[in-house]
Amino acid sequence: MAGFTTMQVIITGGAGFLGQRLAKALLNSSIAFDELLLVDQVMPSRPGQDERVTCQEADLSTAGTAQQLITARTGLIFHLAAIVSSQAEKEFDLGWAVNLDVTRQLLEACRHQHPGIRFVFASSLAVYGGTLPAVVDDTTAVTPRSSYGTQKAMGELLVNDYSRKNFVDGRVLRLPTVCVRPGRPNQAASSFVSSIIREPLRGEPAICPVSPDLALWLSSPDTIIRNILKAATLPGSDFGGWRTINLPGVSVTVQQMLDSLERIAGKEARDRVRFNPDPAIDAIVSSWPGVIDNSRALQFGFGIDGQFDQFITQFIADNHKTA
């Protein structure tokens, strides 16, 4: 992976799972920087003892906060902070304030403080919805069926327009659903995707709110982080006039996930998963594509996972390291 030099790197959502994992990867990457600033509404944990890391608790939706964070030293921003899908649906005003308004404020701060900052925006396959072709690609029209998807789609357009105007050097990454996440369930509609694997491996019951036949578009944590870093190091000109790309994923049905769980952890673990349909969650998740054409992303050199069994073994190995 080719490197480049920047003075300061910022990760918004730096207290979250992906933010913390990205920070650790950055500290061991080819990207040269003097400071890594982790920002979140709760104080981020410091990953290790690296003196380049600074942590800050800040509400990015507060007027003026973005302008205070971004300076002439800032060379790269990973904008991961977001209100997740189900919460954005329930708390309509909060979803718009964070998922759209904060994105605009950060872009404006870049424009006025230091034009040309590399701006990596974490979008989502939730921008798709409704009646979709059998296989979605980067040119498929976005027709979201949730407030979260709509907010992310509008954020994508903002990053593309600010890039067209050379206010930022943007790249928009539509992330597959990440599985298996550690920790506990959150308010994301897709939270069950990890919990139906994670909880049974811990000896705990889990609820699946969707049909076993539902196809999901997934990526493992390790692959997601490698691909986010890859996007940051690519020249903006490689993207052409459209800075949005679907990161590679694999299509797996819920039933196939549970079959993998049984192969690796046994029938006892599989039997800890119980189906209890939730129409609200199903309406959101089933509107997302189950298959996306990976060809453009693979041409860029982004990585892709193997069989779903490897998702589970990766989680087990990571969990063992931190136990």
Q: Which residues are identified as catalytic?
A: 148
Residue 204 sits at φ, ψ, to 5 deg, of -110, 155
Q: Are 98 and 147 in contact (CB under 8 A)?
A: no
Q: How far apart are the first and last CA of the chain?
A: 31
Within 10 Å of residue 280's Cβ, how many Cβ atoms? 12
Please give the C-alpha separations between residue 145 and each of 84, 123, 153, 281, 297, in angstroms, as whole numbers. 14, 15, 11, 12, 25
Strand partners, 38: 11, 55
- DSSP H or E segment with residue 198: helix 191-201
- Spatial distance between the Cα atoms of 83 and 155, rounded to a whole number of angstroms: 13
